Chains A and B, each alone.
Chain A
Amino acid sequence: MKFLSKFYIVIIFLILYAPILVVILFSFNESGSLSNFTGFSLYWYEDLFRNDEALTALKNSLVLAVFSSILATVLGTLAAFSISRAKNKYYRRAMESVSNIPMMNPDIVTGVSMMLLFVGVAQFAKAGSYLGFWTMLIAHTTFNLPYVILSVLPKFRQMDKSLTEAALDLGCTPVQTLFRVELPYIMPGIVSGLMMSFTLSLDDFVISHFVSSPDFKTLPLYIYTQTAHEVKFSMYALCTILIFVILFLLIAVNVAGSMGEHRARKKAGKIMMGGK
């Protein structure tokens, strides 16, 4: 039984990670062939960094992800704050559901409707070339918003109301209370909302496809256009870099979190021993 369950887990992980491993492995393949691995080389990485178009796309993606995730986090946190403060129970529930619906919406629907909206507004404003960075920023911020609300709102709900009252009681104005007590309390929710937005934005293809222009291409869009002709092995290198960047981010966040806890516990232990 024990062997079987271990075997099962190995299989599951193999299925999950095999495609990624293949990409990583072949990004180092000298020959540029999928059928045989001829030798280790960094050729495709060099090739990638000589490719200005790919680098621009990477830069676009990162800029867009950073700005849209920060914007969505600020807006979403404020929204969660006011939803959690709403006195009327029915209004509060309605707001929660309404902010959740865009997450269920198929991307294709969101993408098409965004495009229609932008076209409509552009015609109304008689603007010429309108699709590009700004429309992408609006679109990405919009689809990130519900995820931020989803991760911040439960934190607000968990927070003991008397924490706020204690801060007021000790002399904080409502604004000071927000910055000194409420925000630190919900910070984990904000951070995870930010991370999620960042990766969602980096990753989005469908919605971006509808609201971008040829002169503002993000990485997924660029890779798609490349693969339409033939798969370049420098794309494998690019994917590998992305995988490691995201892996590094995840590890950093986790390590930072557990290090903080560990340090506090160690300190507490020292005092306890010293006190006795």
Chain B
Amino acid sequence: MGKVHIEIDGQELEAEVGSMIIEVADKADIYIPRFCYHKKLSVAANCRMCMVEVGNLPKAVPACATPVAEGMVISTSSNKAVEAQKSVMEFLLINHPLDCPVCDQGGECELQDLSVGYGEDVSRFTEGKRVVQDKDIGPLIATDMTRCIHCTRCVRFGQEVVGIREMGATGRGEHMEIGTYIAHSIESEVSGNIIDLCPVGALTAKPSRFKARAWELRQSSSIAAHDCLGSNVFVHHRRGEIIRVVPKENELINEVWLSDRDRFSYQALSEGDRLLKPRIKKDGVWQETDWQTALNLVASEIKRIIGGSNGDDFGVLVGNNITTEESYLTQKLLRESGCNNIDFRIRRRDFSGDGRGSVRSGMNFAMESLDRMDATLLVGADLRHEQPLTALRVRKSTGYGNVMAINPFDGEYNFRLSQELQPKSNMLAQEFASVLIEADKLKPDVLNAEAKEWLAGIDSNEEHQQIAQNLIDGEASCILMGVYVQEHPQAEVVNWLAEALATVTNSDWGYMTQGCNAAGNKIAGAVPCQSAAGGKSDEGKNAKQMIQDGMKGYMLINCEPDVESVWAEQALENLKRADCVIALTPFADGRVSEYADVMLPIAGCYETSGTYINVEGKWQSFAAAVKAPGEARPGWKVLRVLANLLELNGFDYESSTQVIEELREKFEAVGDARIARKVPPPLMVVSEQETTRESLGLYMVDPMVRRAKALQQTPKASTHPISISRVKTR
């Protein structure tokens, strides 16, 4: 890229050839007013607000659509520029209502802000204003279409970033209207972003509609807790109540976007049925009690069951979005009391890889490199519904790269697949192995004899060859496995295949994990096969054994096996049959009151400090944004006090930072060591019986999302599990 030299407002700047004036100005912190320009979207130049004066050009030009040229002298605040901007503002205000006090955007509105600088105090327009009927576009986004200034950011977002044209403009000039063409709800799983994009109050958040003004809100940084990306967010809260969650820009993770799940899940905390005091079930009747009594009871029950069974009959199931600190303390507490039955992989079927693999689970390459992959192979990955923002990244690469999928279901994609294989779900591993065979044929000297022998006798065809060829040809290529794979009965085989294929084709590989903290939970040691940071552990029972065998005592930490488990009915039955079920949960509703004997209120996310480790292995700590309601306490505090009551040593933490530092020291000592497996267990055709209950729906993944009212009313909440039931069976 060549460079040109330009001058903006007297400031000498160097700019890349082809960049627009507004980009250069933004980089140099020179503000040019704008409505339609957005750095992540294409240039539309239809608001005309960014008029600037350029050199000797007779008229002002739009800064967003004028490329820089050598020697350009630009003025953003000369008389000519300001006059042009003021005229544009006058035009915009012809039809925009002037009732800011009733508008939900008031106080954070770009038009309002700019009209202070560029608007006239008296209108010359005496005719009636245009009125546009509001559209009902679903439970997440409220519309006020009269306020629309036709910047088309929402239209371009759908078209360019998401790849689903849901919004569009009909009519021209005075009659132009933004809408959904045919009246229907917006179904995209990242639709909430158009709320942020809308510069005026035409599109606003429905769940927080009219609740608060921007100036009342306090802002805390946090990490979103519903997928493994660890999207950075700002939690906006007022008087201890979370009002909304908005994205915090992080180019490496979520860019400027946020999925609806992360954006609207907070509703469960502010409007859900929260557990406010510890409860004990006495003779079948729930009684509220104080922490002291409840914790003493819990401690004595843990002692009794673990002591009575030599640690065999007590099991801990850890939820998907608890913090690393919480899972570290849980496993430490449990292992110190002589029990190893702890697991967070509540939806896993195949545990044959336990004791192998890396200390951390996830992917070993950077998320942002997905943007630039020449070849991406998705295996059992329903990206749109599992990690919606990853789908946006993969979509970017489809411009020049190939995206291929081996998905045993009728997936919905927002990008074009160059190739799609749809094996039956029990044939996933076989289909994948065929690709490896073809890759081996193309590059025969990578796999060892043992592996070749293992692969012998599996069929393959040109389709598999094409996939292998693409992966080998691509300079940057990757194999990405989804949540589906981890729930597959042959997860370990598929894992091994992916690793082998990655080695042969020289690709990156990784898997997108379930929940937000699978990596953290594994590092913390919330698995039966390894203690913290990959430390040794005596063999304990895994989630499948705990659920299927039935235990005397269970401890559930923000986990609802009756919904989340693959064997949900069995889980419910065994939980009901257990002697003592201790549930640490932020919520009072659900079936937990049917099977639990003690319910301890813990803080939900955004209410506790902690750390999530994302799928790439980024450790992201956050502080509590608001205080938990009632007597609910952060999980790590509850576990620390419980450990003290159990008279265990080494639990004198005073903050969650101390906990994570202890774990971090241990982890840094071992690093990301791996114990690889030479050859996986034999490839077999698995029976269909076990795989009837498939992935949790988009809005079913964790207790918080399940209780978010607005998300549950979206069309996706009801259709997504149906799309999963379309999974092909034999």
A and B interact: no
A interface list, Cβ under 8 A from B: none
B interface list, Cβ under 8 A from A: none
